[in-house]
Structure 1
Amino acid sequence: MRIRNVHERVVDAGAEDIAPLLATMGQPDDVLYPPLWEPMRLDGPLAVGASGTHGTISAYEPGRLVEFTFPDGLGITGTHTFTVTTLGPGRSAVRHEVDADAGPAAWLAWKTLIEPSHDAVLEQVLDRLQAAVDAPPARPTALSAYARLLRWFERPRARAVEQPQAGLIVGALPRVDDSDVFVIERRRETPADPDLWAQAIFTDLPPWGGALMGIRERLVGLVGIDRGSPDTFAVIERGEDEVLLGADAGHLDFRTAVRCEPTRIVLSGAVQLHDRRGRAYYALIRHLHPLIVRAMFNRAAYRLARKGVPAPAVHVAA
């Protein structure tokens, strides 16, 4: 079954201005691929033979042509290609075309899952290309509700990892009774400032998390456990790429560290329990704690990525 899909935009820029933007495709500094979607990745610079999430480059002419062959295993055979055609001084047509064949199951997957997100991504890529040459579209692409739903499934998600704690959290407490480490992918255009991440994680709870914290505040005082205070997540120490927060209370002390790495954000936690109240309290919340941490971490990553849209990291004068 045949698949044909075309997106084209006339851009007020010459091929020489568009070339360096196309050259960032699939790279860590990709300025065209919209950051709220699962990133496009290549295993090296743009060149014939480079391979990644969107296939293998089978033809490449800098600033003129980038042709990908679909990866194996999709049930789709063919190519998807960017071309740049000069229309006149400082004016070009940028076109992306899918030309492929698919079996019935792959064709159905293309129509229901791949094509709606593909169309949304390509239109946003062209928006960002225009913005990067200082000629942004009059109306940026508005995603359909279905495309937004598909994008939601592609958002970065926090996960617990089994690895030794490192950085400022090591030695932050005299004794550690429990600890955990969570990581989340750092998408392009999200900050490398751990203070911004800490603020986003701990001051903007999901609604259901905020409700649970409100219930917690009402109940703990009844059993003599300290209620939260404005300095619950006070900054204790800062490093070049990390910030340590925490507080001491009668029933337990806790520390949490946010560390920014090139491709991920690491959130580490440690707790020291003091007495029977602390142990009983922690026994009640320890299984709920990972759910809340993941939800806070996911929300922070999504919101920080949104703040980076739509401005590309590189601007090229037309």
Structure 2
Amino acid sequence: MNAVNIHKRTINQPKEQVSQLINTLATQNDLVWPYENWPAIRFKNGLHVGSKGGHGIVRYSIIEFKEGEHIKFQFSKPDGFNGIHEFKVTAINDQSTELRHEINAKLSFKATLLWVFVIRWLHDALIEDAFDKVENYFSTTKKETKYNFWVKLLREAYKRQSFQTKHV
């Protein structure tokens, strides 16, 4: 199966302002990644081409990086995920910017099952939380995307499994 997953959000700020936030990804002062509610994103050597890292069970390497413009990652885990995902920052006009996250991967049968029933749901919620975090940085009215029942169930199962693994 081919997995193509695209998220876009218009941020009513100039590209230069949004780019400054994107440049904090995976740093001590990360203003993009919703690490408050999700596994943190980390890279062994920071945001540089060739740096390896990931979040949760997902692992990847940075294969392209243009500061403030885009970051492209190549999947290495889970097994059977063969492809890329990327963040892009594009000016719509002088006062609006589009944030875009895209996955394009060929999946093995096992990876397809994992994607369809687990990862896609969690991924979609995580990316919307990240976009909320960026949008909220510039706004006094805070946006919060609500999780559907399946995401809530998966998150609870993950917390229980994580707790049991840590305390056994």
| Same fold at TM > 0.5 | yes
Match for residue 98 of structure 1 among 94, 100, 103:
103
Q: Is the 8 A contact 2:11 2:98 kept in 1?
A: yes
Measured in 2, the distance between the counterparts of 1:149 and 1:25 equals 28
Tell me the CA shift for residue 17 of structure 1: 1.1
Counterpart residue number, 1:47: 48
Task: Report the RMSD for the aligned CA atoms in angstroms.
Answer: 2.1
Counterpart residue number, 1:2: 2
Task: Note the alpha carbon deviations across 1:111-141, whole angstroms, 9 max, x for none.
Answer: 111000000000110000101123756x520
With the length of structure 1 as denominator, give the TM-score of the two structures.
0.47
Measured in 1, the distance between the counterparts of 2:113 and 2:167 equals 35
Tell me the CA shift for residue 44 of structure 1: 2.6
Structure 1 alignment gaps of length 5 or more: 162-318
Percent of aligned pairs sharing the same letter? 27
Measured in 2, the distance between the counterparts of 1:94 and 1:135 equals 20
Counterpart residue number, 2:139: 134
Matched ranges for 1:62-211 at <5 A? 62-134=67-139, 139-155=143-159, 157=163, 159=166
Give the 3 Å change call, closer, same or farther, for CA 157–134 of structure 1 in structure 2. same
Task: Note the alpha carbon deviations across 1:38-74, whole angstroms, 9 max, x for none.
Answer: 2222113211111112411111111111111111452
- Counterpart of 1:69, as a letter, is Q
Q: Secondary structure at the match of 1:134?
A: coil
Counterpart residue number, 2:19: 19
Give the 3 Å change call, closer, same or farther, for CA 111–45 of structure 1 in structure 2. same
Give the 3 Å change call, closer, same or farther, for CA 14–135 of structure 1 in structure 2. farther
Give the 3 Å change call, closer, same or farther, for CA 14–76 of structure 1 in structure 2. same
Q: Secondary structure at the match of 2:92?
A: strand
Q: Is the 8 A contact 1:13 1:92 kept in 2?
A: yes
Give the paired residue count.
160
Structure 2 alignment gaps of length 5 or more: none
Task: Note the alpha carbon deviations across 1:240-283, whole angstroms, 9 max, x for none.
Answer: xxxxxxxxxxxxxxxxxxxxxxxxxxxxxxxxxxxxxxxxxxxx
Q: Secondary structure at the match of 1:66?
A: strand
Give 4+ residue runs of structure 1 displaced > 6 Å after superposition. none
- Counterpart of 2:121, as a letter, is P
Q: Is the 8 A contact 1:26 1:41 kept in 2?
A: yes
Is the strand fraction higher in 1 or 2? 2
